Structure 1
Amino acid sequence: MLAESEDFPHMVEALDRVLRRMRGTGRRWRFDRMTTVCHPASGKLTAAFTGVAKYYGVGVDICPPRRGNRKGVVEKANHSAAQRWWRTVPDGISVEAAQNGIDKLAVRMDGRRRAIDGVRTTVGDLAEAEPLLELPFTPFPAQAGRQRIVTAQALVPFRGNLYSVPPGLAGAAVSVRWRLDEPFLSIATAGGAVIARHEMAPRGSGQTVRDAGHVVALERAVLEAFSDVPACRGKVRRPLSPQAVAEAEALRGRGRYAWLRLTTSGPYGPGIGRSGGEYHLDGRFATDVPGLHLAIGEAVLGPGRELGRSRFWLRDRLGGGPAVVPPFTLVWHDSDIARRAFADQAVECGASSSYFDQVLEILDERGVTVILASADLD
């Protein structure tokens, strides 16, 4: 029998459910040294469980310490059940659905055949023939409780059913309380105030139990929230402000520099570099130093490659070594974009030429034929 918790009320409730399925109880119960049953050090029953034993009229035997052989048969049976069923339980399954699965396993295990004094029988038949004591009319009157979260529909999920609470508590944590010998449950707030009391529906039946007062209050809350005000107008698209554009350019510049640091320039070695050919440079994004060098490297060597991260490295790489060496032709598309972007960016203080002009001079110096193609010509 599965339970949501290992505390005393849930253990007693699960024990009572097992006994009622058996339609009786044995004269003596045997337990391991569980803290909910006894004091592990001494093996003496707790005061609470002593009341349970007296209520059902049974004796309790506690397994002695360090006597593993006495528990071997029971543990082996639990091990078999775990191997056959527990490993097949999917994640996220409810306690009720899991209990339904283990009940089916128990039915199959009751059909196991046995031979007693040469007579063929089954485990289920042997269990039916066991002499059992009668059970009390109601379970032991223990008080149990569990925490739950109220849904947006003012409902509290509990054991496969939904129970109503007053509106306005969506998302709040509440306590579901019940006595094992009563067919009712109470729902209380975190402060202890009882806000609902319902008759418990059968486990896992999927019922929604609502109080008439809660239904009226929920309808009133919905109607009060209703409004005939026209819906909000659609979002108005506004152009970006100059500050937003500047911030976007700064972000793009930092991203380009980070990517430029990850690019590679090789391979190097005698006879590796090839010359000649025509390469096309996409100049739409060559608006800053990292973007310009990324565009040159990707045009000549391909994505993820670079021909230098500055004008000094560019002069060195074009001197020989990488996969492409001058002379070759470079068609610079949208070159006017880079020219305008670098117009006010002098290479050195007092210099008359921009960074764009310096790069063109280095390319010409190393034997690269540059064809500048503006957007208008394209």
Structure 2
Amino acid sequence: MFPDRILSGMRPTGKLHLGHYHGVLKNWVRLQRDYPCLFMVADLHALTTSYDDVSVIERSVWDMLVDWLAAGVDPEQAIIFIQSQVPEHAELHLLLSMVTPLSWLERVPTYKDQIEKLSHKDLGTYGFLGYPVLMTSDILLYRGNLVPVGEDQVPHVEITREIARRFNHLFGKEPNYQELAEAAIKKMPGKTGKQYAQLRTRYQQEGDAEALLAARALLAEVQNLSAADRERLFGYLEGGGKMILPESKPLLTEASRMPGLDGAKMSKSYGNTISLREDSESVTKKIRQMPTDPARVRRTDPGNPEKCPVWKLHEVYSDQPTRDWVVQGCTSAGIGCIECKQPVIEGVLAEQKPMFERAQRYLEDPALLRRIVDNGCERARALAADTMRDVRQAMGLNYK
């Protein structure tokens, strides 16, 4: 049984906006307090679609890292690293690609969608087709068994589970696997081994899901088993081999409520963003120029907040009394649109203030940022080395 561990990452796209903060970074800040977390700059993933223009990747990497730290990602609590600087990612990607059926990649929901959306690019490459294998390698390299995703992304986690399951089935079968598993059962104290065997039989013969959960809990509590025996018994329980790579589970996260300046989803491609560290004059100007309810042609015309993009920002930044004031003032024409926008301006600037303060030390001392990343890469490689040792041995590539 592998300990709870989370791997999450972002492609380097330059400075981040408030949509990134509300959609991802706030969640990372919460997760780092509760789980061992690794946060990765996915620069290899950036090459799957931007291989023809790599000039902006490095600058984007450092800008994005400053934004992470500004948002509250803490290098004392989480490992922060750059994907390409941990070569084990590429090695595991290669090895997993040897056993991943082509048909699995072609049926990934986003594959054809992305080809259509990015039709101006030549995406007929293995790198683009195989990005789910790289994603799987990122997660499994650290035996990350929890993947933070929104509900709409849950299907994407399934291919990671399928690849891990296939790998364990192919390479988790030691020559004397059954004998080793049965010997491990005998090492369990008292009646525990007998109870494990009964639960295993109930699960395998009757499909009793509760028996499976009970057996897993029992194994987790047994103290005198080695790590190898414990892994064998987890695999033996479900009828497979030794669990070398975990079958990751989705960790559902709250969907972002951050709209853009036009009311649509905040996105650079829509040109409706506010950056995490955008100066106050620019923020004020952007919000004051936001479109409002088209029915309010004149100051004296009543409006409907539900038809106004500014109202969506009030739902993020304003407390209930302020929202009540907006509804009353808008529907009665008691306040003008400029007045209505002021609390949103103040809310955004208040949210950004600590971000500027956190970022300043890294802007003044870029070497500090690089030391954090170097340390993170070193720590990530140490974890990756353990996984790759087991993977190479399982695949017959350990010639020592």
TM-score (normalised: structure 2): 0.26
More helix by share: 2
Name which structure has the greater RCO, CA cutoff 8 Å, separation 6+: 2
Larger radius of gyration: 1
Structure showing the higher strand proportion among its residues: 1
Task: Give TM-score scaled by structure 1 length.
Answer: 0.28
